[in-house]
Amino acid sequence: MDALPTPPTPAVAEAEQELSRITQRVEAMRAVLVQLLQDVVRAESFLGESQSVQLLEANEQLVLSALGAQIDSESALQALDEAARTSGLDPLTQLANRALAFDRLEQAIAHAKRQGTQLALLFVDLDKFKQINDSKGHAIGDQVLRQVAQCLLSAVRESDTVSRHGGDEFLILLDDLAQIKDALSVAEKLKEVLGEARASNEHWAELSASIGISIYPRDADTATALIACADQAMYIAKRQGPGGISFFVENAAFPELGSPWAAGTAAEPSESSEPSVLALQRQAAELTQRLARQEKSQLLLQEANEQLVLATLSALDLQAAAAAAQQRQGDFIASVAAELNDPVSPIRLAMTALGRQPDAASLLPHAQEMMTQQAAQIRGFVSDLLHPLDASAKAKAKLLLNRQPLSPSALLDHCAQLCRPLLEQRQQQLRRDQAPEALQVYGDAQRLTQAISNLLSNASRYSHDGGVIQMTLQRAGDQALITISDVGIGISDQALQTIFEPFGREAHAVGVHGDALGLGLTVVREIVEAHGGTVRASSPGIGQGCQFQVSLPLLGQAEQG
């Protein structure tokens, strides 16, 4: 008979209830986890469809832009190099490249052939540049090449062509060469400029330049041959040591050297031939130096002959000019004598004074005195001018002065009195202004009266009727300054340059109130300068009047002079 099941104890029942609650909580947590997993899947799905795609596209655009910029940069550099080659410039130094230099050399040769002139080609090779390039790097080497290019440009004319032949070699074309020695002078200047730059640049070390020179048409008549000659001359210069300079020497002078010398490179001698080759090289260097000295001597002799010929021609020109000047001076003095000997001037003034009033009889004594004084002055002037009897002495004649202390104020009073009839006839007003102090000069009263009267009468003649003439006297340092101003027809700027020269006339003044020989102002200048003074003219322009200023040394300074 089977046994009946044992009913559960209270403890077991409680445990089963607790297990049931835990199971329910686990199922609830599992549902929450499932929900979270679904949210994660949705979030990942959303991110993959929007932001991830945008980020990926942005990265792709960034990569494409970077690649495009790199391609554009490379294209720009290629275009720059192509433009430099097309324009004929060297990309590193911006000098003319080999093609452009060759073209300009051919054009210069054609021009020289047509004009019958000569030109020089300088082949410049930098000494010890390889040491700089190897020890300091190619960046410093490129910098040195650019600086050398600027130095070469600064040492030649703007019309000359400086080009980079290749590496550390440069060509310099000197067009329209006047003398062969000018090429040597340019080479020396190049060495000097490079030396100054080397002293101020730490990267240059012992950099120098060997320079070879070829001359058209003496050495060659084509561009290719001229470059080859300059290259050969450069290697001759290198054998003299760093910084050497050499002209091209024909290969015929070195028959034993053969092609190695003509190619401009040193041969590799064998043990058996080394002494003879070295000896030939030394002989070649010595012969080159002798030829250079001989050529320099020939150039100096040629220049001396040219200078002698020029000096001879100049002496002949000076002799002819002196003879012509002597003739002109003689003619001038004769003309001055003729003008001063003309009695019309004092008579005209006297007749003007006598005819201005009906009662002219009261003016007879004054007119007679004026004519007597003028006649005495003119006789003195003519006597001094014509005193020498022979032609050579007449050409050297100078004014003789009877100098004594005199008052400029009294001198101006006398001149104003002499010119008063002319002023009154034209109803002109003379205004006087003088310094309050008493001034004295050391001079010839008659000559100074002639000079001042001439200026005053000119002011009246070339002023309008009823005009005002100003005459002032003042002290200017150690000079007595006499100024005569008018508001008449004026003087042009061109005429002011020659107004005091013989026959120097203002065009618009010809025929104004009579005419003269054009010597009056020349006589004024001669008289004033004979007293150690100066006279100058100024005018604002035609129709605006003019001003003449006469400065005379005061008494103390005139006696010292």
Most distant CA pair in the chain, distance: 206
- Which residues are bridge partners to 406 per DSSP? 441
Long-range contacts of 384-387 (CB under 8 A, 24+ apart): 385/333, 385/336, 385/337, 385/340, 386/337
- 430 φ/ψ angles, rounded to the nearest 5 degrees: -105, 120
Q: Give the end-to-end CA distance of the chain in Å, rounded to a whole number.
A: 180
Cβ-contact 188, 243 below 8 angstroms = no
Residue found under tokens 């006589």: 523
Residues 249 and 231: their CA atoms lie apart, in Å, by: 11
* DSSP conformation letters of 123-187: EEEEETHHHHHHHH-HHHHHHHHHHHHHHHHHTS-TTSEEEEEETTEEEEEEEEES-HHHHHHHH
Q: Which of 168, 219, 384, 486 is catalytic?
A: 168
168 is catalytic: yes
* DSSP conformation letters of 319-332: HHHHHHHHHHHHHH
Residues 134 and 140: their CA atoms lie apart, in Å, by: 10
- Nearest partner of 486 among 444, 537, 415, 550, judged by Cα: 537
Count the neighbouring beta carbons within 10 Å of the beta carbon of residue 289. Answer: 13
Cβ-contact 160, 175 below 8 angstroms = yes
Cβ-contact 411, 431 below 8 angstroms = no
Count the neighbouring beta carbons within 10 Å of the beta carbon of residue 211. Answer: 28
Residues 522 and 513: their CA atoms lie apart, in Å, by: 20
Cβ-contact 440, 479 below 8 angstroms = no
Residues 236 and 428: their CA atoms lie apart, in Å, by: 88
Strand ranges inside 192-348, DSSP E: 208-216, 245-247
Residues 365 and 353: their CA atoms lie apart, in Å, by: 11
Cα 130 to the chain's mean position, in Å? 39
- Nearest partner of 526 among 502, 493, 506, 505, judged by Cα: 502
User: Which residues are identified as catalytic?
Assistant: 168
